[in-house]
Structure 1
Amino acid sequence: MDLGKWVLWGLLLFLAVVLGNVVWVLGVRRLYRPRTAPPQLLKARCQDGWEIAVHARRAPKRRFEEPVLLCHGLAANRFTFDFAPPYSVAHYLAEAGFDCFSVEWRGTGHSRNPPPGRRYTDFTIDDHVLQDAPAMMELALKETGAKRAFWLGHSMGGLVGYAAAQGPLGHQLAGLMVLGSPVFFKSEPLLRSLLGLGVHAAWPARLRQEWMSATLAPFLGYVNLPLSDLLVNPQHMPPQIQRQVFATMLSSMSRKVLLQFRDWIENDTFRSYDGRVDWRAGLSSLTLPVLVMGGSSDRLASAENLRKQYELLTTSDRTLHVFGRDRGDKMDYGHGDLMFGTGAPIEVYPLIRAWLEARATPLPAAVEQPLVSPTLPA
């Protein structure tokens, strides 16, 4: 067989493998997609023309004026907060009477419509702070008629909240809740090495790790992935939930965002992409209520890290809660355990609800709201 035929057979084999993987991933995502009524899909246009998706989960009986903005972290999407009950903060808070709006940051999920001349990987965390956050806030306030909203962010979503609260958006926030969000970045060597590899693997634009996670999802619960405890302790999650989370919740990462995280880790800082705005120093200027939460075994946002950021806050209404066995909790929570650990719906969610209810504005009478279509016309 001549060289040309070997090349042809090699190309056909490569295409078959790629096609097979695509079919496998699509099938896995369909099989493990959360079986629950989808939220209403809304679109918010940012000042720079980027269109982001905001998923609205309405309260059947709305009891409070302020909506809750649910903001996911790096490499995640709206399923972080709007999953299938009982592992769904959006469902939980909606039943308590709060309208919930789960964002998908630009470049993620349904938010892949950049303006002309931009790629959907061309953004930094600064864009989440200066563009996405105001657009999401404007939409939520318009939809509910409220004057202010609460912010709940997990991991990077909490960091975006910290930064956004220091700007013009601050007066529109009724309170800020951060969950597993580190503002100090002196990390262990392993994390530094992994991030460095991620930056290189993301060249020239993004890291598509969601394909690998979806490919391997059906095997979780039977075997554990290496280093999976960095994200979530598999011993704290039911196997079926592990498979669903890894099949549907992970998203690709922009190389620019990874470069920004590398700057934070290498220089132990929390600042803008150009280095001009020190968001960590700005924490002392916040005057709104802040709830700092995390897990006692979280290797990305350690208990020490949470205590240090809590000490930077000077607002009169600040609360620190580290979930763990030393407080009588069911488990020593890791990073993702705060959302999907077996104890989260009975220990983490109720604390969030109680904190919100103590600070939200009750409506004179509960407002019954009809079910709405999951999507808007194009």
Structure 2
Amino acid sequence: MDAVRWTLWGLVAVLALVGVNVLWVLGVRWWYRLRTTPPERLKVRCPDGWELTVHERRAPHRRFAEPVLLCHGLAANRCTFDFEPPYSIAHYLAEAGFDCFSVEWRGISYSERPPKGRRWPDVTVDELISQDGPALIERVLARTGAKRAFWVGHSLGGLVGYAVAQGPAGTKLAGLLALGSPVFFPPDALLRRLIHMGARLSWPWGFRNEWLSQTLAPFLGHVTLPLSDVIINPKHILPPIQRKVYANMMSSMSSNVLRQFQDWIDHDAFRSFDGSVDWRAGLAKLSLPVMVMGGSSDRLASSKNLRAQYELVGSTDKMLHIFGCDRGDKMDYGHGDLLFGTGAPFEVYPEIRDWLAAHATALPALPSGPTSG
């Protein structure tokens, strides 16, 4: 009887802790919610039946014909780009005259629900490239009436863009900007251990890390999490912004995507899940305008990595920009600082805007209203 009693008490304690954690996370989501006008949500159906959501933020005064697709990276969502000003590229570019569409890949947030007979843990990067990317391009072109669109991708979002540009949908892109995208995967023992651990923990239902991120979010800025310097330069992101980012931006990772990253890191490759398509080799065939951007202290996409991919890109219209103290910037940029660093709104965002504007089709200026005599 004592054993049964202690087992019951243990079960009650576990359920109580779970209940407290649920209330804690719900409170964190509410307290750290984004206090800005939300973008409009549009549905996008892929050829294989998966329904995506893209978040539209239109320009108050549209100055350029081409819309901008803003594509997030691994373990993130649309808040990568559509956050609270001044740390929001979507707001910044919309004010500059671009219609902006922040993507959420299949299995992420509002694009989470799979069609019948499909499982989210089975999703690979291949499907983001063959299904999601082309469908999203078609949707924003139909929405805006434009002939081509710009692709701006952070980390994995840039890699997907590189691969999409190599396929039929590439002709519908006016330019591609890859921000902190690691085309090369040289040996890094720490990153390899982290990806291997994530791949093991993701079986069989994927690695659902957003709950953990939301649980820990209120402590960030007061304490520094182990290994956080792999993702960001903690000194470059204000503590309140760190807390809000972890409460809103982090998302789950599918088992197969993590397995694919494991393959890339183990073999220094950027290729399809079955190894039959080498997207890195395909960069030499690109002809659209390309901007390669990154941070000087980014552990995932190092300066050496960025220079190597820049040299590999075949386009004659290409640029390389590495942010850091060496070029007079406020601080050396890590992976996430490119978006949320204190210097990002006046060092990174203007460079993105200016490159897009230089390659965009300007629309006729709106006629001014009548003047009083």
**Smaller-chain TM-score bracket:** over 0.9
Tell me: CA distance 1:12–1:194, structure 2 relative to 1, closer, same or farther (3 Å): same
Corresponding residue for 1:181?
A: 181
Q: AA paired with 1:81?
A: F
| 1:120 shift after superposition | 2.5
Unmatched 5+ stretches in structure 2: 369-373
Corresponding residue for 1:376?
A: none
Corresponding residue for 1:374?
A: none
Are 2:166 and 2:286, in contact at CA under 8 Å, matched by a contact in 1?
Answer: yes
| 1:7 shift after superposition | 2.1
CA distance in 1, matches of 2:37, 2:363: 26
CA distance in 2, matches of 1:316, 1:182: 21
> How large is the RMSD of aligned CA atoms in angstroms?
1.2
CA distance in 2, matches of 1:45, 1:122: 18
Are 1:63 and 1:367, in contact at CA under 8 Å, matched by a contact in 2?
Answer: no
- Segments of 4+ moved more than 6 angstroms: none
2:97 counterpart of 1:100: no
Corresponding residue for 2:345?
A: 345
Count residues with an aligned counterpart: 368
CA distance in 2, matches of 1:205, 1:89: 32
Corresponding residue for 2:155?
A: 155
The 5-angstrom pairing of residues 88-237 of structure 1 reads 88-237=88-237
Corresponding residue for 1:238?
A: 238
Are 2:121 and 2:204, in contact at CA under 8 Å, matched by a contact in 1?
Answer: no
Secondary structure of 2:121's aligned partner:
coil
Corresponding residue for 2:273?
A: 273
String of CA shifts for 1:276-327, please: whole Å, max 9, x gaps.
1000000000000000000000000000000000010121100000001111
CA distance in 2, matches of 1:325, 1:274: 41
Are 2:153 and 2:179, in contact at CA under 8 Å, matched by a contact in 1?
Answer: yes
State the percentage of identical aligned residues: 67
CA distance in 2, matches of 1:113, 1:168: 27
Corresponding residue for 2:371?
A: none
Secondary structure of 2:309's aligned partner:
helix
Are 2:213 and 2:247, in contact at CA under 8 Å, matched by a contact in 1?
Answer: yes
Are 2:74 and 2:155, in contact at CA under 8 Å, matched by a contact in 1?
Answer: yes
Unmatched 5+ stretches in structure 1: 369-378
| 1:366 shift after superposition | 4.2
CA distance in 2, matches of 1:366, 1:183: 42
CA distance in 1, matches of 2:155, 2:27: 29
CA distance in 2, matches of 1:77, 1:309: 25
Greater mean alpha carbon deviation, residues 85-94 or residues 22-31: 22-31
CA distance in 2, matches of 1:245, 1:168: 35
Tell me: CA distance 1:366–1:290, structure 2 relative to 1, closer, same or farther (3 Å): farther
CA distance in 2, matches of 1:325, 1:248: 29
The 5-angstrom pairing of residues 351-362 of structure 1 reads 351-362=351-362
